Amino acid sequence: MGLPGRSTRKVSVWPVAFVGGLRYESPKVNAAGKVYGWKTVFDPHRPFAIDMAGFAINLRLVLFKPQAYFKLRGVKGGYQESSLLRELVTLNDLEPKAANCT
C-alpha cells in the first residue's frame, strides 16, 4: 500500500482527520469519481475547501506553472489552498484517492 499522492498526475485529494471541528473533512465525490464539493464546516463555498494535508501536487505541474505559489500575504485566511490550487487545476482535474474519499 503506497502513499496516496504517489500516483498523482496533477492534484490528488483525500480526507483529513480532525480538521475544523469535525472528525474528518473530505472532498465530495460523485458516482463517476469526480469531485463536486466539500464536506467541511469552515466556509464550504471556497473554490477548494480543503486542508493543506488533504492534497498532493505533481511537481511537474508546479514547474510547468511557475506563477502558482503558496501566498501568505494578500489572501484571506483559510483561502491559501484555494489560491494555490486555482492557479494549477480546476475542480474537474482533481484525482480522488483513498477509495474515492469514502
Active-site annotation holder among 25, 81, 87, 95:
81
| Interval 27-36 mean pLDDT | 95
The predicted model scores a pTM of: 0.87
pLDDT recorded at residue 72: 83
Mark whether 95 is an active-site residue: no
> Residues 29, 71, 68, 63: is their CA dihedral positive or negative?
negative
**How does pLDDT run across 46-93, given as a tens digit for each residue?**
999 999 999 999 999 999 999 998 888 888 888 999 999 999 999 999
User: Cα dist. 79→4, 96, 97 in Å?
Assistant: 23, 20, 22
